[in-house]
């Protein structure tokens, strides 16, 4: 059997490697260990601080929803943006084109398949939408929720998993689980359980903080105004 080839390391690089190893041992490893030992309350606080400092957040998303004891799973995916103050936009590409957006005053939901757009006041929606509170830092996680360790397994590497329970009754949320990155305290997975035990999972990829663009479009006020195609039925709920 041929012997494995072991690369020769120049003495200078060998010394450099030992120096970097010692640096990691004395500085990096203790920091990682300390981060992994954070209490749920501290994780929730650092999560909120991340988004409080941001002016906007852009990401790709995947969504699944399933009712208890049902094998039917509803799926969706697309892109989203949150921008302070009070602006958001969700563009669903799958399973059909849908656009949900708010300019801070008006909230609109466009459904291409039914050729309808529902328009209502943004105030009530923004106050009840937990994702908006998370990604804009407008809510107070520790004031609105109790943060505890999870009662489910964490299958995602390099993340904290915390359970959040509303302190007061919430119309859409009985409990939530939040997967938060250890290095940057970004939310990459949010599981929302409602009072009928419907479970909605939101997964976030390609997250950008303080982004300049939303896809190929510049992030500006006009991005949060949507003009539906001709023939769309407008349903006014003001």
SS3 217: strand
pLDDT over 70 percentage in the chain: 84
Mean pLDDT of 174-200: 95
Separation in Å, CA 198 to CA 52, 113, 174, 195 = 29, 24, 10, 7
* In contact, 150 and 137? CB cutoff 8 Å: no
Flag whether pLDDT at 223 surpasses 80.
Answer: yes
Mean pLDDT of 180-193: 95
List the one residue out of 117, 61, 108, 69 whose CA is nearest residue 234.
117
pLDDT in tens, 138-160: 778 888 899 999 999 998 899 99
Dist CA 68 CA 46 (whole Å) = 32
Flag whether pLDDT at 47 surpasses 60.
Answer: yes
pLDDT in tens, 96-128: 999 999 998 999 999 999 999 999 998 877 777
Place 23 in a pLDDT band, splitting at 50, 70 and 90: very low
Place 36 in a pLDDT band, splitting at 50, 70 and 90: low
SS3 179: strand
Flag whether pLDDT at 15 surpasses 60.
Answer: no
The per-residue pLDDT of the chain, averaged, comes to 84
pLDDT in tens, 192-214: 999 999 999 999 999 999 999 99
* In contact, 97 and 115? CB cutoff 8 Å: no
Flag whether pLDDT at 22 surpasses 60.
Answer: no
């Amino acid at each position: 059997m041929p012997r494995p080839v072991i690369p020769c390391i120049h003495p200078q690089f060998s010394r450099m490697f030992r120096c970097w190893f010692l640096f990691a041992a004395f500085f990096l490893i203790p920091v990682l260990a300390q981060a992994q030992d954070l209490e749920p309350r501290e994780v929730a606080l650092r999560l909120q601080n991340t988004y409080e400092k941001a002016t906007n957040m852009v990401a790709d998303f995947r969504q699944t929803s399933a009712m208890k004891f049902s094998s039917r799973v509803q799926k969706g995916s697309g892109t989203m943006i949150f921008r302070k103050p009070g602006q958001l936009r969700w563009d669903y590409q799958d399973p059909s084109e849908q656009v949900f957006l708010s300019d801070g005053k008006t909230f609109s939901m466009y459904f291409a398949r039914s050729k309808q757009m529902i328009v209502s006041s943004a105030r009530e929606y923004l106050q009840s939408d937990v994702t908006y509170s998370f990604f804009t830092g407008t809510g107070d996680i520790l004031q609105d929720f109790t943060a505890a360790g999870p009662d489910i397994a964490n299958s995602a590497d390099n993340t904290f998993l915390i359970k959040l329970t509303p302190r007061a009754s919430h119309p859409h949320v009985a409990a939530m689980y939040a997967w938060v990155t250890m290095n940057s305290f970004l939310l990459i997975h949010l599981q929302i359980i409602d009072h009928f035990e419907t479970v909605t999972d939101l997964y976030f990829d390609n997250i950008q903080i303080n982004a300049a663009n939303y896809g190929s479009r510049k992030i500006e006020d006009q991005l949060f105004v949507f003009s539906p195609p001709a023939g769309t039925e407008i349903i006014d709920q003001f």
